[in-house]
Structure 1
Amino acid sequence: MVTTLLVVIVVLALIFDYTNGFHDAANSIATIVSTKVLTPFQAVLLAAVFNFTAYFFIKDHKVANTVSKIVVEQFITMPVILAGLIAAITWNLTTWWFGIPSSSSHTLIGGFAGAGITNALLMGQHGLDAVNMHYILTIIAYIVLAPFIGLVIAYIITILILHICKKAKPAVAERWFKRLQLVSAAALSFAHGANDAQKVMGILYVTLIASKIIGADAPMPDWIPLACYSAISLGTMSGGWKIVKTMGSKITKITPLEGVSAESAGAVTLLLTEHFGIPVSTTHTITGSIIGVGLTKRVSAVRWGVTINLVWAWIITIPISAVIAGLVFLVVRSF
């Protein structure tokens, strides 16, 4: 029974990683598609390649370590992990269907935490005893901080570029920025893979511990990073065109120069947070970066109505995922 459940969880975890790829593909490629630097197919191919490239360079897996500690060890069971994954996949597919760029990262974290809290309540303990509040509060704080950091960096980069290139001929500058956007999009895709693939690594790692296959102090098996980077890359290859439309045109109109600024800011923010082991949202980060670019023109250049709707989606993602996971856990544990 344990072996069967383990296989099911591993498969579901990789399916979630796949959905994360096509759900968040828009984050890496929306601007490069909207500026017509690459066709949609070329863009997803570029993003997928650099998603996987992170596998060869990121070895510390600090984000995976953080995710694995979201729920206190004594409350982690195989049904808890299963319920969290089912909830995360359900909300990911729902938001993808409606073209809402919510956070796959927070969906997974909310689902895992929600199932753990429900387990604690059923054991007669306080629900919040099941989660490490230090990590939860840090993640919640970065719902605000990640897009704000991306916004500030994008604003600064754009202002610097405009100052440096103020005497350049527009046609020449645009040609160069279209080339540079290939670099910035690749960097953002690399950072996306580095940050997001690790979240599922953390889930698979605690699954092996919960199933007693490895000890709590054992290193992460090599197959986990390889499988996770492969799954997210394949997902990215599938694209996410509804969300591309939202990210690439509905927030603010993007030029190649602004695409370079937004993607560079997003990449810097993601790599910085990955270095400190903070599982932030790629969606939140690039959205903040795009807003920062829009603000260099004028405040009204940003379509605030669309942006506010995105923020509401961010706010409800963790609690909704947690509730879905709690309900799924009640069903799963009865079998």
Structure 2
Amino acid sequence: MLDLFSDMELTAALMLGLALFFVLAYEFINGFHDTANAVATVIYTKAMPAHLAVIGSGIFNFLGVMLGGLGVAYAIVHLLPVDLLLNVGVGHGLYMVYALLAAAIIWNLGTWYLGIPASSSHTLIGSIMGVGIANALMNNQYWLSGINTKKAIDILLSLLISPTVGLVMAGLMLLALKKWRPDSRMHMTPEERKNTDGKKHPPFWTRTTLIASAMGMSFAHGSNDGQKGIGLLMLVLIGLAPAKFALDIESTSYQIERTVDAAKHMGEFYESNRDRLNGSLDLSYNSDHPLPVLFKCESASTLPAISTLVEKLNSVKSYESLSGEDRRVVRRILLCLDDTAKKASKLDILSKKEKADLDRLRKDLSATTEYAPQWVIVAVALALGLGTMVGWKRIVLTVGEKIGNKGMTYSQGNAAQLTAAAAIGVASWTGMPVSTTHILSSAVAGTMIANKSGLQGGTVKSIVIAWVLTLPATMLLSGGLFWAASVLFA
């Protein structure tokens, strides 16, 4: 990690260090902002003492980050066209990073202070989209060119659909538990249990399941939200220190050879199918433009770019042997080759086998660009894990008592947690960022409806308003901060 600042001017190194600090601060805040989502039910139902619950949650959040992979991380990175970041100046890139981080931190702290279970995922995604759109407008480009619209739509759909799934599935699970064991004490609230037999803890097996599902949800939260922190940190490093992070320096010679072979096979495929593809993709060989142009990937540059890539990586055994500028060029080429292959794989004129082949080649192409150094993963895991251990009290009461008109029963807590943990786990496995907050809040609401407990209009209204306002508010806030910084410090 210390090598990160070598060969950098003191001012640039200090600014980069500050940017990394803010990223980890955001992840720390994300930890205590979202802690209650994992421990609210287990604390409210008195299945675990609060101090043990948050420590356990912190540990499992840490493990979730360490073992969760990078699928969600690069869904966040690809929300912005990454070549845009590779082609902005260091000062411009810093303004972008500081603006999106400031917007995310301000909104997270504000909603946490008010005790509203708002989404850190919405907050981060809105902040990234805001600076991307602002950057496009400031460069007199079409506003949507500042973001990866396809990726943004996929992410927004996942954020929209997942709470609905949580609400329905948790409600159905509660109904199944009530039908299976209608007279069980697991259908009591903590207060009812205390008044009935004087015990404050849930029944043994119910308590065991509550604890297990809370830790499972913490792990799922770490694997999803922690990856968002990794993606944000990589966004900073790629944008502000591209010479060191444009490519995975630890790539083996075999991985580099696979990258070159994938590019060659793509070139052969395009050459042999050029006539068939030219109606949809312009694959005319333009030797005057052997590289992708700034801010844009053009299919006409695909074949000459492949030739340039093969030439640059010919006999290269390690990326360390390339200059910083060559690493940036190679990354730009790989990103644009992936972009062209992605467009080609969606054409109806290609067979399923041809599309599958292109998708496999895309994985080989991105093997040395979609990565994260181990220290990045550990740093984010520590920030999220430590943040998880503080700040939980404000939102626990909201989740336990203020969503429904009655307090939460043990079975409701189980149904909500199991559903949320499963939904978040599936999302992490498929590489889609989702909102832990909204999935759990919706799951709790689903159990309240199924239990005929009713919903508290004021709390539900606050949650819905936060859900609706988070994206536009953070987009405007981050975009406005980015514009102001660019104007004031240009």
Question: Matched residues in 2 for 1:238 and 1:175: separation?
Answer: 28
Separation (CA, whole Å) in 1 of partners of 2:455 and 2:53: 24
- Range with bigger deviation, 72-81 or 6-15: 72-81
Asked whether the 8 Å contact 2:416–2:443 carries over to 1, the reply is yes
Structure 2 equivalent of residue 105 of structure 1: 121
- Deviation string 1:166-220 (CA, Å, 9 cap, x unpaired) is 3656689833212211111111111111110111111111222112121144331
The count of residues paired between Structure 1 and Structure 2 equals 333
1:91: Cα distance to partner?
0.8
TM alignment of 1:1-335, pairs within 5 A: 1-59=11-69, 61-76=70-85, 77-166=93-182, 168=184, 174-210=203-239, 211-212=241-242, 213-215=244-246, 216=331, 217-218=368-369, 219-252=371-404, 253-298=407-452, 301-333=454-486, 334-335=488-489
Residue 330 of structure 1 deviates from its aligned partner by 2.2
CA contact (8 A) 2:66 2:377 kept: no
Moved more, 107-116 or 70-79: 70-79
Query: Relative to structure 1, is the Cα distance of residues 56 and 87 closer, same or farther in structure 2, using a 3 angstrom cutoff?
Result: closer
Range with greater deviation from structure 2 (101-110 or 210-219): 210-219
Q: Which range moved further: 50-59 or 92-101?
A: 50-59
Instruction: Flag the 1:88–1:167 CA change in 2: closer, same or farther, 3 A.
Output: closer
What whole-Å deviation, never above 9, does each CA across 1:33-74 have from its counterpart, x for those lacking one? 111222222221121111112134323x11001000111124
Give the Cα–Cα distance (whole angstroms) in 2 for the partners of residues 305 and 95 of structure 1. Answer: 15
Shift of 1:292: 1.5
**Aligned residue identity for 1:248:** G
Gaps of 5+ in 2: 1-10, 86-92, 187-192, 247-330, 332-367
Evaluate the alpha carbon distance shift between residue 118 and residue 168 of structure 1 in structure 2; reply closer, same or farther with a 3 A threshold: closer
Distance 1:270 1:65 in 2: 17
Q: Which amino acid aligns with 1:292?
A: G
SS in 2 for 1:220: coil
Q: TM-score, normalised by structure 1?
A: 0.94
CA 1:8–1:169: 2 relative to 1, 3 Å:
closer
Deviation of 1:80 after TM superposition, in Å, equals 1.2
Distance in 1 between residues matched to 2:172 and 2:220, nearest whole Å = 20
Q: Is the 8 A contact 1:174 1:257 kept in 2?
A: no
1:71 alignment partner, SS class: coil
Aligned to 1:238, the other structure's residue is in SS state coil
The 2-side partners of 1:263 and 1:222 are apart by 30
1:33 aligned partner, one-letter code = I
CA drift at 1:82: 1.9
Please give the root-mean-square deviation of Cα atoms over the aligned residues, in Å.
1.8
- Out of 170-179 and 24-33, give the one that drifted further: 170-179
Q: Distance in 2 between matches of 1:56 and 1:119?
A: 33
Query: Within 1, Cα distance between the matches of 2:84 and 2:111?
Result: 29
Amino acid at match of 1:243: I
**1:8-43, CA deviations, whole angstroms, 9 ceiling, x for partnerless residues?**
111100000000000001101111111122222222
Residue 259 of structure 1 aligns to which amino acid in structure 2?
A: G
Aligned partners of 1:188, 1:247: CA distance in 2, in Å?
15
Q: Which has the larger radius of gyration?
A: 2
The answer (yes or no) to whether the contact 2:65–2:227 under 8 Å persists in 1 is no
Distance (whole Å) between structure 1 residues aligned to residue 140 and residue 476 of structure 2: 18
- Name the CA shift for 1:166/1:323 in 2 (closer, same or farther; >3 Å): same
C-alpha deviation, 1:318, in angstroms = 1.1
TM-score by length of 2: 0.65
Amino acid in structure 2 at the alignment position of 1:276: T
Shift of 1:112: 1.3
Distance in 1, matches of 2:378 and 2:485, equals 29
- Aligned partners of 2:123 and 2:432: how far apart in 1? 15
Partners of 1:96 and 1:240 within 8 A in 2: no
**Aligned partners of 1:83 and 1:112 also within 8 Å:** no
SS in 2 for 1:280: coil
CA distance in structure 1 between the partners assigned to 2:82 and 2:216 by the alignment: 35
Measured in 2, the distance between the counterparts of 1:119 and 1:204 equals 20
Equivalent position amino acid for 2:206 in 1: F
Aligned mates of 2:155, 2:101 — CA distance in 1: 18
